[in-house]
Structure 1
Amino acid sequence: MAEVVRRRVPFSGERSAVAPATCAQRHMWNLIQRQLPDAAFYNEGLWTELPARGTSQDVLDAFTELVSRYESLRTAFARAPDGSLTQHVLRTGHFEAEIHTTGPGESPQDALRAWQCRMRHTAFDLATAPLFRAMVVLTGDTPALAAFCVSHIAADLMSMRHLIGELTRLLDARTTGRPAPPPAARQPVEQAHYELSRKGRALLARSHDYWRRQLASAPPSLFPARRSRATNPRDPGHAGPEHYSAAMNSQAVPLAMTVLSRRWRVSGSAVLLTAVALLLGSRARLPACTLRLLTANRSEPELRAAVANLHQEVPVTVPLRGEHVADIARDAFTACTTAYAHGLFDPDRAEELTRAAGRERGTPIDLSYCFNDIRNAHERRADTGTPPPPHAVHAATAATTIEPCDFEEAETFFFVVVSYRPGWLRLVADADTAALTPDEVHGFLRGVERLLVELACEPAESTPPTELATRAWPQLRHSRMAMPQGGGAATGTARGDCHGHTTWQ
């Protein structure tokens, strides 16, 4: 019979501290507050298989070391008397851990899935640290795998990947006797002080100017005929889910990306962003498409090994006026580079700017559309590898699969590029069903693949971008959102300036 032992594991760090919350912490706090009462929506976690050595106590000791090293894992949050958000680092305390011994016929993965399901529905109290839980699965007396769950305000994806790597190194050190010194990394308290410094304030001011420029060129909505649920709640009598997600596993997409990255001299992410922007923008008959990019904000050396929530979501506008898709892709690559350079910003100030721009136009600006490339770094570097022949790209489409999945984000539209297995990519699209129906979500994913494959197999690339988009996603021909060519958006009018930029009124 399976056995579960629950433990409260003590930890002790070097200091306690109180400081203002960082920009990224406030960004995530705001997202979590909007998602209430589902306070567990932004719980995140990773797991790893373990080498067949050591004990469950060795694993718990390694987790304890991680909580002691990285202050974000033992940080709570509260409002100061002036209403500002503050972070409170605990020096000592306890975190929750489970030790699960598998029973007859139960695999370690079975135990992991059950624990993960509970964690997705067990909220953290952000006012009580640590925002961290752990589990170990034993087969007999041997650790088979370990997992942890954190609140997203404590750690982003790069942090969680780093924690898994550190856990493995600490276990190796414990079982081999070799020391495992902690890497040099900036803690969130120091990050907050940096943001308040003269250099940090100058950086934030430049980011605010960037937001103003983006808000001037962004279309009011990518779905003007179907407002997001935030501004047009679903009819209570309407049946069906509020969100729908599907995942496509494709060999053809990474092959086509390799061809197009080399041909256009842009990154693989820019290739994918171009396809997504062209399909969505064509669907709404817009001259530009604005999406939010998730930025890691780790360009400084002392942040590369940091464990914290550093990511923020910065808008990028992709102009769709290029005569050829290659022109759009190069503009997208340039726009992305600029956006990532402004990834650190004050989220409250950005919201103020967005509301002010909406008041100036006379219509709210909807930025609830996201693009996120979370492939492993080595896969992103492989985008410019040797391009495959066209027949190989086209033939790979026969292996493509697409199916519903349980991914969900609190946005009108969210597109994610995920590592799957060597030679494959997993593309996930999640949409509010008031914006895209389930059939349209499936059609969109197929359209991304068709568009990239056709471009990779057509060296001349002479077909106009809008025609390519319609061929790739046939539902564009029947879109209820479509407007006459040359018309303005349903909620605003576009005009071009002498430099080719688009502003909205």
Structure 2
Amino acid sequence: MGGQDGGQVAAAEATGHAAGQAATPEATRRGAARAAGPEATERVAVDFAGEGAGVDEMSWGMWEIWHAMQGQRSALPIGGRAPLEAGTTLAGLAEELRYLMGRFPSMRTRLRFDDRGRPTQQLFATGRTVLEVYDAADGDDPDDVAAAVEDHYRRTVFDYADDWPVRMGAVRKHGRPTHLVTVMHHLVTDALGGALMLREVRARQTAPAAGLQQLDQARWQRSPAGQRQNDRALRYWESVLRAVPARQLPGPSDPRSPRHWDADFRSPALTAALPVIAGRTGAAMTTVLLALFAVALHRTTGINPVAVRPVVNNRFRPGLADVVCMVAQAGGCLLDVEDATVEEAVQRAGSATLSAYKHAYFHPERLRELTARVSRERGEDVEVGCFFNDRSAHLPPPDGQDMTAEQLARTLRTAPAGSTFTWTARHDIPAERLFVTAEDVPEGLRLEIRIDTHFISPAEAEALARAWEAVAVEAALAPAVPAGTGR
């Protein structure tokens, strides 16, 4: 797309990888009253039309995120706000909204609910939405108005049956559009799908959308081939659930109220160490990061094997490479790091995650049933509540490629002094027991650590982060570092 009317691209880019970001909590019950917020001064009607229509079961990816949305009582909204280039017009923004709704089936999909509240998806071939316009008064900063509109869009409850999943608003001052705000609920797409959407919007693609869309996915998943995939995945999952340790996380040593805490960890040392270890082992940096995480959890708790659910994008599967919808799912694996060196732990993580990726495509409802059954049979909770979501591109640290070996060693030894660990939120919104997200920031790697204090205490979470950094530095400075000690 590009050009002066590239507002959607700018608004989406402003949020980075929004798919896993924390959002203002909101109830998700249908028919709830809309949250109070800024009043639109104009609503531009936008008619749209696109390929396909029909009703079917939700796809596995939709079920995955639906469970998270219901569990967290939030639409997990994605999107953001961004300034617009001079010369942008309301007509151009309306045309952009028309293009989005027409091109991407997930943006014109609503849910239908049966008498028990069970959802199915409904794709519409045509429809009408609105571009809302908010005027900034004299003396108002348009960016402040855009921030208020974004907050309003995030807080306003989505009616999944009657609302379109995309909300778009333009901020205008003195007759000129200055900012665009776009927010959508998480059933629309995952993080990589959002990046693919940006690519197509920039190019203003007109060829039919590639790949299996959500209705196509549901049909395939119900087919014999899809059922075979689901059966294979659940057999693998059962082997994991039979083998997970009874104690997967430290436990309620220091439960707090509010119960759930979020932290931000910035570690220049970890950023610098990753490419060193990856270069020595030949492993992908995401594999190295996961292995170091498992070693750190083992060092701080003594738990082994470490049970973890890596989030898998599933884009390597036939027909899913270029679709703008929810296809990511969390796999499951056990990482045995006891009596190993860190480099051996990296190699083991590579093998374990390959199996996890292969089997991270299944019906989440069936996994819930399987987990409940195995828990009953074992007489203990076997749910794997530790998640790892690597959204980072693992860019090299600033100036890192130009360092000599001696300079790199000095950097690794001194970098921990520049690390920061900060608690950013405390709340009672239901969430996973431990969820770690890695993403890029200008200075390197950012780790978001979200905990349920009934399973891991704040002190243990910070100790885990510091151990993650420490083992990375140790392994980068010397091979054959034991995984099970702090040496």
Shorter-chain TM-score bucket reads 0.7 to 0.9
1:461 match: 480
Shift of residue 129, structure 1, vs aligned partner: 4.1
Aligned-partner Cα distance in 2 for 1:352–1:245: 29
AA paired with 1:405?
T
Paired residues of 1:222 and 1:284 also in contact (CA < 8 A): no
1:5 match: 41
2:6 match: none
Shift of residue 414, structure 1, vs aligned partner: 0.7
Aligned-partner Cα distance in 1 for 2:143–2:467: 34
Shift of residue 319, structure 1, vs aligned partner: 0.9
1:286 aligns with 2:323: no
Gap change, CA 1:47 and 1:310, over 3 Å in 2: farther
1:214 aligns with 2:234: no
Paired residues of 2:339 and 2:484 also in contact (CA < 8 A): no
Paired residues of 1:78 and 1:85 also in contact (CA < 8 A): yes
Shift of residue 147, structure 1, vs aligned partner: 3.4
AA paired with 2:414?
A
Aligned-partner Cα distance in 1 for 2:153–2:363: 30
2:123 match: 89
1:419 aligns with 2:440: yes
AA paired with 1:63?
L
Gap change, CA 1:76 and 1:380, over 3 Å in 2: farther
AA paired with 2:421?
I
AA paired with 2:409?
P
AA paired with 1:121?
R
Paired residues of 1:46 and 1:148 also in contact (CA < 8 A): yes
1:68 match: 102
SS, match of residue 405 in structure 1: strand
Shift of residue 148, structure 1, vs aligned partner: 1.9
SS, match of residue 248 in structure 2: coil
Aligned-partner Cα distance in 1 for 2:420–2:314: 34
Superposed CA deviations along residues 398-448 of structure 1, whole A, max 9, x for unmatched, are 433332335987111110101111x51111101112233334333332332
Gap change, CA 1:227 and 1:97, over 3 Å in 2: farther
Aligned-partner Cα distance in 1 for 2:464–2:134: 41
1:130 match: 164
Paired residues of 1:3 and 1:103 also in contact (CA < 8 A): no
Shift of residue 282, structure 1, vs aligned partner: 3.4
1:33 aligns with 2:50: no
2:12 match: none
Gap change, CA 1:159 and 1:49, over 3 Å in 2: farther
More off after superposition, 198-207 vs 254-263: 198-207
Paired residues of 2:187 and 2:326 also in contact (CA < 8 A): yes
AA paired with 2:108?
R
Paired residues of 1:411 and 1:432 also in contact (CA < 8 A): yes
1:392 match: 411
Aligned-partner Cα distance in 1 for 2:245–2:128: 48
Paired residues of 1:90 and 1:129 also in contact (CA < 8 A): no
Shift of residue 306, structure 1, vs aligned partner: 1.0
SS, match of residue 331 in structure 2: strand
Paired residues of 1:96 and 1:132 also in contact (CA < 8 A): no
More off after superposition, 284-293 vs 10-19: 10-19
AA paired with 2:354?
T
2:197 match: 163
1:244 match: 261
Normalising by structure 2, we get a TM-score of: 0.82
The unaligned stretches of length 5 or more in structure 2 are 1-37
2:210 match: 184
AA paired with 1:242?
R
SS, match of residue 77 in structure 1: strand
The unaligned stretches of length 5 or more in structure 1 are 171-178, 229-233, 472-505
Q: Matches of residues 7-22 of structure 1 in structure 2 within 5 Å?
A: 7=43, 8-22=45-59
Shift of residue 279, structure 1, vs aligned partner: 2.3
Shift of residue 203, structure 1, vs aligned partner: 1.5
Gap change, CA 1:379 and 1:285, over 3 Å in 2: same
Paired residues of 1:46 and 1:164 also in contact (CA < 8 A): no
Aligned-partner Cα distance in 2 for 1:381–1:84: 47
How many aligned residue pairs are there?
443
Gap change, CA 1:50 and 1:25, over 3 Å in 2: same
SS, match of residue 471 in structure 2: helix
Paired residues of 1:253 and 1:449 also in contact (CA < 8 A): yes
More off after superposition, 150-159 vs 386-395: 386-395
1:226 match: 252
SS, match of residue 465 in structure 1: coil
Shift of residue 49, structure 1, vs aligned partner: 4.8
1:477 match: none
AA paired with 1:28?
I
Paired residues of 2:260 and 2:451 also in contact (CA < 8 A): yes
Aligned-partner Cα distance in 2 for 1:277–1:156: 25
Aligned-partner Cα distance in 1 for 2:253–2:360: 27
Q: CA RMSD in A?
A: 3.1
Shift of residue 154, structure 1, vs aligned partner: 2.2
Aligned-partner Cα distance in 2 for 1:109–1:403: 27
Aligned-partner Cα distance in 1 for 2:253–2:361: 29
Paired residues of 1:252 and 1:397 also in contact (CA < 8 A): yes
Gap change, CA 1:54 and 1:41, over 3 Å in 2: closer
1:488 match: none
